[in-house]
Structure 1
C-alpha cells in the first residue's frame, strides 16, 4: 500500500522514527543510521506492507536541512572561530583541498564531467559532524586534544557546505562556465552576508531585547522560527538556497546574549526535522539496487575510508599536530558526512548525477558512517600502542618503594583540583588516568601523572599503593570507580579511600565496595546552595557552618580515627 495522504505520511514517518531509533541507540549505533533504516523500510524501493512516495516528504527534508544549517551558524561565534582559527583555517582548509582534489581527479578518471567531479570530490571530503560528535561525547573525548582538532576540521567543512549548495544550481545552468559560476556564487554570498549582518545589527538585537521585556516564552520561540524561515525565504528569493539564509541567521545570533535561549528553543524542531530529513534520505536509497551492486558499494566505501584517513593523517602531520594525533583524527574523520545526502540528492535532481551514480554514492556514504565507531576504536588502540613505544614513562610510575603519597585515580577537573591542593601543602601524589592525551600533557609539564587503570592490581603496585597515605577516586565512569575502590581495598585493607559519586545511589555502591568516605556531587552542590541561602537569610557564618556539617554528617558519617589520612 502506497501512502499519499500527507497526514498519514507524517504519522508513518514519526512511527518509524519512534520504533527504530531507540533500538539503534540501545545497540550503541548513532541515531542517524536509525533514521536511515526507518526511511529504507518505509521507502518505495523496499517491499513491505507500507510505502511512502519520497516526493511527498521533500518539504520536510528541506526544513530539516534549514534548521541544521541554522544550528551550525549558531555554534560559530567569533570567539570560537578565533580560538580554533589555526586548526579551522589551517588543517581544515588543507584537508578539504587535498581530499577534494584527489577525489575529484578520481571522479574525472571514472568519466564524470569536470564540474560534477569537483562537486563529488569536495562532498566526499566532508565528514559526519553528527556521528563524530556523538562518538567523542560518548567516550569523553570532546575536549581532548584530538577531539578539539577533529571539531575544528568539522567546522571548516560545515563552512564549505554553504558555497557548495549555492554553486550546485549554477553548475546545472552553465556547466561550461565553472569559474564564472564560482565568482557569481561568491558575490551573492558576500552580498547576503553583508545584508544579513546589517539586518542583525539594526533589527534583530533590538527586537530580541523587546521580546525579552515581554517575558512570554511562546513569543520568543515564535520569533526564532520566524527568523530562520524568513531569512531562508529571503535568500531563496534572491536565487540562493534557504539553507544559506538559515546559516547566516545563525551567525547573526551566535555573538548575541540570546544565543543559548535561541538554541534551546530551536533544538526540538531541529532534532525532529533533521530526523525526518534522514528518513527521507533513507527512502531514496534503492535497496534492491544496492544489493545487486553490493561489491561496488563495499569497494567504494573501503577505498574512500582508507584514502581519506591517509590524506587527513598526512595533512595533520604537515599542519604540525604530530603523527599520533594525525592518525587518530584521520581515522575518526574517515567517513563521509550527512551533507553528502543533501548534495548528491540535489545533484541528482539537477541531472548532474545519474540515478545509478547517486544511489552508489549514497549507499557508500551510509556504510562509511556505520563503520565509524569501529575506526574510532582502532585509532585509539593504535595510538596507545604507538605511544607505549615512544613514551614508556607515561605508563610506569615506578613508585613501588614510594611512601606517604596520595594516589589519585582520575586526572580530570576534580583530580587536578585535588592535586593542586596537595601541592600547595607540600604533599606528594601520583595520579592515574586513562586519557592518553591528558597524561601526555601533564607529563610534558613535569607532573606525576601516568597512564593506567586504578582497577588493575599491577598498576596499583606500580603506583606504590601499599605505602600510600590515601587514595582518591575521581573517575567519571561508575563501574570503573567501583572496580578501583574494590581493588584498592583488597590490596590495602586499612587504607583511607575517598571517592566521588554522581548521586546517592552510586555513593552506596562505592561504600559497599570499600570506600572510607564518598562525596556525592549532587548532594555537595545542594549543600553549597543551602549555605548561600542561609547566609542571605541573615544567619551568621558559625550557624551556617554548623548546619552544613550536621546535614553532611547525616548523609555521610565522618571518617573515624582508624581511617585517618595521616596514615603512613
Structure 2
C-alpha cells in the first residue's frame, strides 16, 4: 500500500508541476509529460520496472480519447470521410511501410523483419497528435481533419497488421510462440482455432453487437441509471460502456480503440452524449498524461548512449521518410498552405501502437530482443520530438502565407447605406433587426455556407473577405452611412475599422468586441460605438436578479440603465490610460483610475438604490408623511 501511494504521489506531483511549466513556455502539455517522465525515470531513477505495467494501464486513455472523438462525429460525417480514410490514410500506411521496408532491406535486414518493422513504424501517434490538435484548436482545420482521417485509418489497420505479423514468423518460431502464449490470451486463441469463416462471423457479430447495443441497450440503461440521480453512478455507467466495448473488441482480436470509436459514433446523436463526454473526459486526460509520462520514463538511455548515432540516425530517417510521404500525399490530395505543413509535421512520428506491435513481433519470434529495444527507443524519441514539430509548424504558419485558393468573391450589384461585415451568430441578429425595421443592408461574409443559409431564409448576402479593401469599396464604403464590423476574428475586426476610418473619417462605425481589451483596441482604431459580446446579456441577467430580490421592474431597469451609462463612461476614460502590450494589472495609472471609478460606480448605484427604497417606503406608508 505504501509503495502504491508513493508512486501515485510521485506521478501526480510530476503532472501538476511539469505540465503548467511547459505550457507557460509554450511547449504544450505533451512535451511537458514526456520531459517529466524522462526526469523521474532515466535521470533521477525514481521509477522502475513498474512503468511498463503502468503504461499498459495508461493506454486505456487512448481508448477513451477515441470514444470521445466518436461522440463528436455523426455517422454521416464518418461516411463523408470515406475517401480520405481509404485514399489518404491507406496510401500513407502502404507507402510508408514500403519505404521503411526498402530502407531496411538495403541495410541487409531479412525481408520478413523489414516488413514487420515497416508496418509497425508506418503508424503515427493518435494520442499525441489528437491531444495537441485539440489543445491548439487545430482539429477543425483542413490539416487537422486530414490528420484525423489518417490516424483513424491507422487504428483500423492495426487489425490486419496483427493478422499479418504471425505469418511473417518462421514455422518453428511460430509454434514456439503459440506454445509459450498458452492460455494467456484465451479469447484470441479461441478465435484462432476457428476456421476463417467462423472468425469473420464472430468479428462481424461483435461489431453488430456494438452498434445494436448503442441503439437499443444503452438508452434504457441510461434511463435506469439516471433514476438514481447520483453523479458517481453516471460516471460508473460511462466507464462501463467504454470498458465493456474495449473488452469485447479484445476478445475477438479487434482494436479496442476502434471499437470504442465506433460506439462513440453510434451514440453521437443520443440525448445524453454530453453527459457521457463530461463523465469520461477527466479520466481520459489523466490516463493520457500518465501514458506520456510512462513513455518518457521508459526511454533506455543506456541503449541510446551505447549506439547513439545508429538510434538517432534511424529516428531522423524514419521521420524524414514519413515526412516525405505525407508531403507528397498532401500535394496529391490538394492540402495547401499551412494545412500542408500541419499535416506533414504532425504525423511524422511513430505511434503508441508501435510499442504493442514491437512486443507482439518479439513474442512471435519475428525480431530479436536487441532490435526490439532499438525500435522502442526510436518510437519513443520520435514521439518526444513531435511537440517540437508542432512548434515548428507554429513558426512556419506565422511566416508563410496560406496558399489556399481564395474563394471568388461575389459581384456586389447594389449599394446600401448600411454595410454589415460578418454575419455569423452575432451579425445575423443585427441584420434581422435592421432589415425588419425597413432598412436595407449590404451583408458580406467569407463563409459560403453562411451566405447560402442566409439566402435560404430570404436574406441577401455576398461571399467575400470583408478585410479586403477592394471588396469594401465594391460594397459601397464611399457612400455608406454606417459600417457594422461583426467578424468572429478580433484582429480582422480591428483591421476593418482601421481601414474604414482612414478612408471615411465621417463614417459611423459600430464594432463587435470580445472583451474590454478588445474595446480599447477598437477605440484606438477609430470605432464610434463598441459593443462587448456578453455585456448586454449580463446586464439583463443582473436586472432579473434585482427584480427577484424585491425591486420593481422599473427600479431594476433604472439601476441597469445607470450601470450601463457609468460603465461606458469608465471604459472610455480607461481607454486613454490603456497601453498596448502591457497587462492592465501592471499599469499603475490604469489600476489607480479603475479603483476610483469602481468606488464611484458603487457609491452612485447605492445612492440610487437607497432613493428607490425610500420612495417605495413612502408609497407603502403614506401616513408617515
User: Normalization by structure 1: what TM-score?
Assistant: 0.73
- Give unmatched runs, 5+ long, in structure 1: 317-322, 560-568
Whether the 8 Å CA contact 1:225–1:266 is kept in 2: the answer is yes
CA distance in structure 1 between the aligned counterparts of 2:122 and 2:453, rounded to whole angstroms: 34
Question: What do residues 456-499 of structure 1 show as CA deviations (whole Å, max 9, x unaligned)?
Answer: x9997787655432222324455554565456556544432222
CA distance in structure 1 between the aligned counterparts of 2:534 and 2:526, rounded to whole angstroms: 21
Whether the 8 Å CA contact 2:206–2:248 is kept in 1: the answer is no
Find 1:96's aligned residue among 89, 101, 110. 89
Shift of 1:214: 1.6
CA distance in structure 1 between the aligned counterparts of 2:429 and 2:120, rounded to whole angstroms: 45
* Partner SS for 1:43: helix
Alignment of 1:29-44 (within 5 A): 29-44=27-42
* Partner SS for 1:518: strand
CA distance in structure 2 between the aligned counterparts of 1:250 and 1:467, rounded to whole angstroms: 53
CA distance in structure 2 between the aligned counterparts of 1:67 and 1:153, rounded to whole angstroms: 19
Shift of 1:312: 3.6
CA distance in structure 1 between the aligned counterparts of 2:451 and 2:320, rounded to whole angstroms: 33
Going from structure 1 to structure 2, the CA distance change for 1:341 and 1:126 (only over 3 Å counts) comes to: closer
Shift of 1:431: 3.8
Going from structure 1 to structure 2, the CA distance change for 1:311 and 1:480 (only over 3 Å counts) comes to: closer
Which position in structure 2 is the counterpart of 1:565? none
Shift of 1:132: 5.8
CA distance in structure 1 between the aligned counterparts of 2:257 and 2:130, rounded to whole angstroms: 22
Question: What do residues 161-190 of structure 1 show as CA deviations (whole Å, max 9, x unaligned)?
Answer: 155168538734874699x98968755532
Going from structure 1 to structure 2, the CA distance change for 1:77 and 1:271 (only over 3 Å counts) comes to: closer
CA distance in structure 2 between the aligned counterparts of 1:201 and 1:431, rounded to whole angstroms: 43
Which position in structure 1 is the counterpart of 2:511? 499
CA distance in structure 2 between the aligned counterparts of 1:472 and 1:387, rounded to whole angstroms: 27
Which position in structure 2 is the counterpart of 1:348? 358
* Partner SS for 1:168: helix
Which position in structure 1 is the counterpart of 2:165? 171
Which position in structure 2 is the counterpart of 1:66? 60
Shift of 1:69: 2.0
Whether the 8 Å CA contact 2:159–2:253 is kept in 1: the answer is no
* Partner SS for 1:519: strand
CA distance in structure 2 between the aligned counterparts of 1:535 and 1:35, rounded to whole angstroms: 50
Shift of 1:7: 3.0
Shift of 1:271: 0.2
CA distance in structure 1 between the aligned counterparts of 2:354 and 2:87, rounded to whole angstroms: 23
Whether the 8 Å CA contact 1:166–1:185 is kept in 2: the answer is no
CA distance in structure 2 between the aligned counterparts of 1:407 and 1:210, rounded to whole angstroms: 54
Going from structure 1 to structure 2, the CA distance change for 1:157 and 1:128 (only over 3 Å counts) comes to: closer
Tell me, yes or no, if structure 1 residue 521 matches structure 2 residue 533: yes
Whether the 8 Å CA contact 1:75–1:254 is kept in 2: the answer is no
Tell me, yes or no, if structure 1 residue 22 matches structure 2 residue 17: no
CA distance in structure 2 between the aligned counterparts of 1:545 and 1:93, rounded to whole angstroms: 64
Which position in structure 2 is the counterpart of 1:49? 44
* Partner SS for 1:384: coil
Whether the 8 Å CA contact 1:102–1:121 is kept in 2: the answer is no
Find 2:480's aligned residue among 446, 468, 471. 468
Question: What do residues 77-106 of structure 1 show as CA deviations (whole Å, max 9, x unaligned)?
Answer: 6972213423x2112211122122212212
Alignment of 1:2-17 (within 5 A): 5-17=3-15
Whether the 8 Å CA contact 2:97–2:115 is kept in 1: the answer is yes
CA distance in structure 2 between the aligned counterparts of 1:515 and 1:429, rounded to whole angstroms: 19
Whether the 8 Å CA contact 2:349–2:382 is kept in 1: the answer is no
CA distance in structure 2 between the aligned counterparts of 1:285 and 1:204, rounded to whole angstroms: 41
Find 2:319's aligned residue among 294, 298, 301. 301
* Partner SS for 1:451: coil
* Partner SS for 1:73: helix
Whether the 8 Å CA contact 1:403–1:464 is kept in 2: the answer is yes
Tell me, yes or no, if structure 1 residue 429 matches structure 2 residue 429: no
Whether the 8 Å CA contact 2:416–2:480 is kept in 1: the answer is yes
Tell me, yes or no, if structure 1 residue 555 matches structure 2 residue 541: no
Shift of 1:220: 1.1
Question: What do residues 491-517 of structure 1 show as CA deviations (whole Å, max 9, x unaligned)?
Answer: 544432222233456546645664332
Which position in structure 2 is the counterpart of 1:213? 227
CA distance in structure 2 between the aligned counterparts of 1:486 and 1:29, rounded to whole angstroms: 34
CA distance in structure 1 between the aligned counterparts of 2:63 and 2:386, rounded to whole angstroms: 22
- Matched positions, count: 525
Higher-Rg structure is 2
Going from structure 1 to structure 2, the CA distance change for 1:312 and 1:63 (only over 3 Å counts) comes to: farther
* Partner SS for 1:154: helix
Which position in structure 1 is the counterpart of 2:592? none
Whether the 8 Å CA contact 1:128–1:336 is kept in 2: the answer is no
* Partner SS for 2:59: helix
CA distance in structure 1 between the aligned counterparts of 2:555 and 2:481, rounded to whole angstroms: 29
Whether the 8 Å CA contact 1:486–1:514 is kept in 2: the answer is yes
Shift of 1:156: 6.1
Going from structure 1 to structure 2, the CA distance change for 1:74 and 1:518 (only over 3 Å counts) comes to: same
Question: What do residues 381-415 of structure 1 show as CA deviations (whole Å, max 9, x unaligned)?
Answer: 76635637xx7x65x9999xx97644545454434
Going from structure 1 to structure 2, the CA distance change for 1:253 and 1:535 (only over 3 Å counts) comes to: farther
Which position in structure 2 is the counterpart of 1:384? 402
- Give unmatched runs, 5+ long, in structure 2: 175-190, 569-625
Find 2:297's aligned residue among 277, 283, 286. 283
Shift of 1:343: 1.6
Shift of 1:264: 0.1
CA distance in structure 1 between the aligned counterparts of 2:266 and 2:473, rounded to whole angstroms: 56
